[in-house]
A = this chain, B = another copy of it.
Amino acid sequence: MRNRKGGFGDFPDSNKEACPVEFTLDVIGGKWKGILIYHLMDGTKRFNEFRRICPGITQRMLTLQLRELEEDGVIHREVYHQVPPKVEYSLTPFGQTLGPIINLMRIWGEEYQTKQLSAESCPVETDIQL
């Protein structure tokens, strides 16, 4: 992922206009990006709000992921020059076009999160219905 930053210059020629699925995953496929976009879908968020929502993420990773999303034009970063500082993140119109995908991923996740786990905990075939 993240390997198109320079603008495809590094690809020989094979996958210049690579698989569109790959392109999409490159935008939302980062470990936290989907979640960040997801939470931005119901409104503007601040830096420490994200840290509260995603307890697992470190501030460094949060910064990096937000920066990449910003570079990709998915989110907007609004800085208020005041003390204490205030920065608000929001989806750009472009970022909002990702909404349907994120929503579908949420629905699928809700649907199969439990079923998949039960399936995984059964190493062999079972007659317990999934």
Number of interface residues of A (CB under 8 A): 47
- Interface SS of A by simple majority: helix
Would you list which residues of chain A between 75 and 101 have a CB under 8 Å from chain B? 94, 97-98, 100-101
Instruction: Write the chain B residue with the least CB distance to A29.
Output: B29
Residue from B7, B105, B116 within 8 A of A101 (CB atoms): B105
For residue A108, which residues in chain B have a CB less than 8 angstroms away from its CB? 20, 24, 97-98, 100-101
Per assembly, the copies of the chain total 2
For residue A34, which residues in chain B have a CB less than 8 angstroms away from its CB? 21-22, 24-25, 29
Instruction: Write the chain B residue with the least CB distance to A113.
Output: B23
A residues whose Cβ falls under 8 Å from a Cβ of B? 1, 7-8, 14-15, 17, 19-25, 27-29, 31, 34-35, 38, 55-56, 71-73, 94, 97-98, 100-102, 104-113, 116-117, 119-121, 130
